[in-house]
Structure 1
């Protein structure tokens, strides 16, 4: 008989769960729940590496050891599928990004008198944790926080909040500040000096009427498959380089050796450019600025890639269009791709590689594909957002 006071697993939102269904925050598998509700650490309860845990909302699971966290990442995918009555043929081992690997981040900043606080919000609160250390950010991003406090002290109104958005690009850190007020020549010059002094790739501000670049010594790019693509401020990037590589490798391994490929919801070309080295690729995306950047980069590199500005929610590819391809790559936003999945279910494409950042919407879309005659051959769970409950995956469907 299972001991009802032992934590058996971690639920989707990060609580530990006992056999009788009780939930306890900050509990790891193997922990025991005392009569007064206290959590008694077990063999899988880890010492959190960050002094800000558990207050900081950037992490939820630093108290769980690495094997248990990897199990959680896989269980998130398996559980979402089971909830829709689907099981994958194979659940591949999860890929977990290492600490201090995050190359993009959206933080908040607030000025409190002469003090500027920058960090993640506390879990379930608007209060900010002023980061003195961070175990998830790439050190090049974290190194900017201290000097940013000084800059924001000059351009952030008192008791006002701003958004600090950072991305690592080919040229270094791309910094976007939203909600600031830059008035006068001195403040404007301070922005340029900050960009130069800290070797930024670009510094952009948004005072409420759109982005304005104040420092960009050369055009900012990110590279996919060896192709440099123009990077709009804080455009979408996979959270870690190793996580991106794991997703791309899982997709590439499933594709047939030849034939044209379609990459739907292609973004800046994470998958399209990696696949377009030896075969033609059609890439579709609803954001015009991303399509233009991808098209220009592919043309300069002479890749066999056709980039199409197309809203796949309102105008998904229909079976007659889909059946021209040897395989489809699908990487929709968190809401999933219901309209496109329904069209795929009616098509005859041999392989669909579905990249998802939301196991729940993936599972809902998988129902349509399976009902249309596909089988879910495998899933590859990916934990790019280490110590969080956010999980990504690649699902391979075959007819």
Structure 2
């Protein structure tokens, strides 16, 4: 008996009406008893020769309409699992192909690329439909440069590609000169090597920066950056809407200042990474931005309600673990508005449940697909205070 695929599961499999999981199936496909798939209208032809072997993408076989719906379903499902009332879930924003400006590739035995799905085997990348062309252009040169096991983290900065090679050392003058020549020949913004004892800069003709909110911020090695400039813009727009006209804003887990430098308000920014906090402080000062930066670990030392109540709005952009300790304090504060940016619907929903119990209303959520064709979901959400519990 044949049945129809009705949705996409969290890890990318199609799910039929009976709950059967079918790899590489899209909503609208028909699956027979033997598992053969007849494509439906949402089944797309994967653009990349490496799909589905490469672990960089899981959903190239679905069209954009189905992919947007998948992102919405992931958010709605996470909220439902926490018994949080489903708010307005806005249409998903998708970053375009070839827009990823940061990625970490693996190298071994002359192969360079992402790992195969659920494997340590490297898929030797010969094309890529997610990376910025400036990053992909370095894959072939890295294949020639790296012969042993290594890791290459590439970030597109203002000055060009910032390349950090892990598991690599320049043990003698000849090796040092070869890395310098590589950096010069490929016009890198910076080349750093990490042999296991921390990153060491080997090439940086001018200080490397990334422009955030119109301000050039020094880019520390390995610092967090939104995956695409397009996705960053969508998240910034959502945060601006959520905080409204608040004159004073606390930006918690501020990073390099993605939101702090874009809001046009008086900002208190807290960040646990010393390098990121220092870079933001220097950049804001040089630009004359009213941003006060504190190096502060919000997991160990969250702001308490008395500190929070000074602000007209709070922005949260925590790591995948969420912001449980900080949310506990926020739930008993009187902050009128909260903008929450998340890269994990499950921990976001957990935190949303606690905020709702404290008297906050979840007004809307916007899913953002920065990691094109992957099962990775990001979102921005707006909370407003209804009553203090």
Give the TM-score normalised by structure 2. 0.97
Match of 1:36 among 31, 34, 37: 34
Query: Quick check: 1:292 aligned with 2:278?
Result: yes
Query: Quick check: 1:107 aligned with 2:105?
Result: yes
Query: Quick check: 1:91 aligned with 2:86?
Result: no
Task: Give me the whole-angstrom Cα distance separating, in 2, the residues matched to 1:289 and 1:151.
Answer: 29
Which residue is 2:266 aligned to? 280
Q: What's the secondary structure of 1:396's corresponding residue?
A: strand
Query: Quick check: 1:341 aligned with 2:327?
Result: yes
**Is the 8 Å Cα contact of residues 90 and 365 (structure 2) preserved in structure 1?**
yes
Query: Quick check: 1:322 aligned with 2:308?
Result: yes
The aligned runs of 1:235-314 (5 Å cut-off) are 235-275=223-263, 277=264, 279-314=265-300
Q: What's the secondary structure of 1:273's corresponding residue?
A: coil
Which residue is 1:170 aligned to? 158
Task: Give me the whole-angstrom Cα distance separating, in 2, the residues matched to 1:256 and 1:145.
Answer: 43
Q: What's the secondary structure of 2:262's corresponding residue?
A: helix
Task: Give me the whole-angstrom Cα distance separating, in 1, the residues matched to 2:86 and 2:338.
Answer: 14
Q: What's the secondary structure of 1:129's corresponding residue?
A: coil
Tell me by how many angstroms 1:4 deviates.
6.8
Which residue is 2:181 aligned to? 193
The aligned runs of 1:147-226 (5 Å cut-off) are 147-153=141-147, 156=148, 161-226=149-214
Match of 1:361 among 327, 330, 347: 347
Query: Quick check: 1:397 aligned with 2:383?
Result: yes
Query: Quick check: 1:131 aligned with 2:125?
Result: yes
4+ residue runs over 2 A deviation? none
Query: Quick check: 1:145 aligned with 2:139?
Result: yes
Task: Give me the whole-angstrom Cα distance separating, in 2, the residues matched to 1:235 and 1:4.
Answer: 49
Tell me by how many angstroms 1:234 deviates.
2.1
Match of 1:19 among 11, 17, 20: 17
**CA displacement 1:330-380 (0-9 Å, x = unmatched):** 000000000011100000100000000000000000010000000000001
Q: Give the number of aligned pairs.
A: 385
**Is the 8 Å Cα contact of residues 26 and 62 (structure 2) preserved in structure 1?**
yes
Task: Give me the whole-angstrom Cα distance separating, in 2, the residues matched to 1:87 and 1:96.
Answer: 25
Tell me by how many angstroms 1:184 deviates.
1.6
Q: Which runs of 5+ in 1 are unaligned?
A: none
Which residue is 2:61 aligned to? 63
Q: What's the secondary structure of 1:6's corresponding residue?
A: strand
**Is the 8 Å Cα contact of residues 100 and 228 (structure 2) preserved in structure 1?**
yes
**Is the 8 Å Cα contact of residues 80 and 86 (structure 2) preserved in structure 1?**
no
Tell me by how many angstroms 1:258 deviates.
3.8
Task: Give me the whole-angstrom Cα distance separating, in 1, the residues matched to 2:257 and 2:28.
Answer: 43
Query: Quick check: 1:80 aligned with 2:78?
Result: yes
Tell me by how many angstroms 1:298 deviates.
0.5
Q: What's the secondary structure of 2:216's corresponding residue?
A: strand
Tell me by how many angstroms 1:89 deviates.
2.7
Match of 2:113 among 116, 119, 131: 119
Tell me by how many angstroms 1:297 deviates.
0.5
Tell me by how many angstroms 1:151 deviates.
1.6
Q: What's the secondary structure of 1:108's corresponding residue?
A: strand
Task: Give me the whole-angstrom Cα distance separating, in 2, the residues matched to 1:37 and 1:150.
Answer: 42
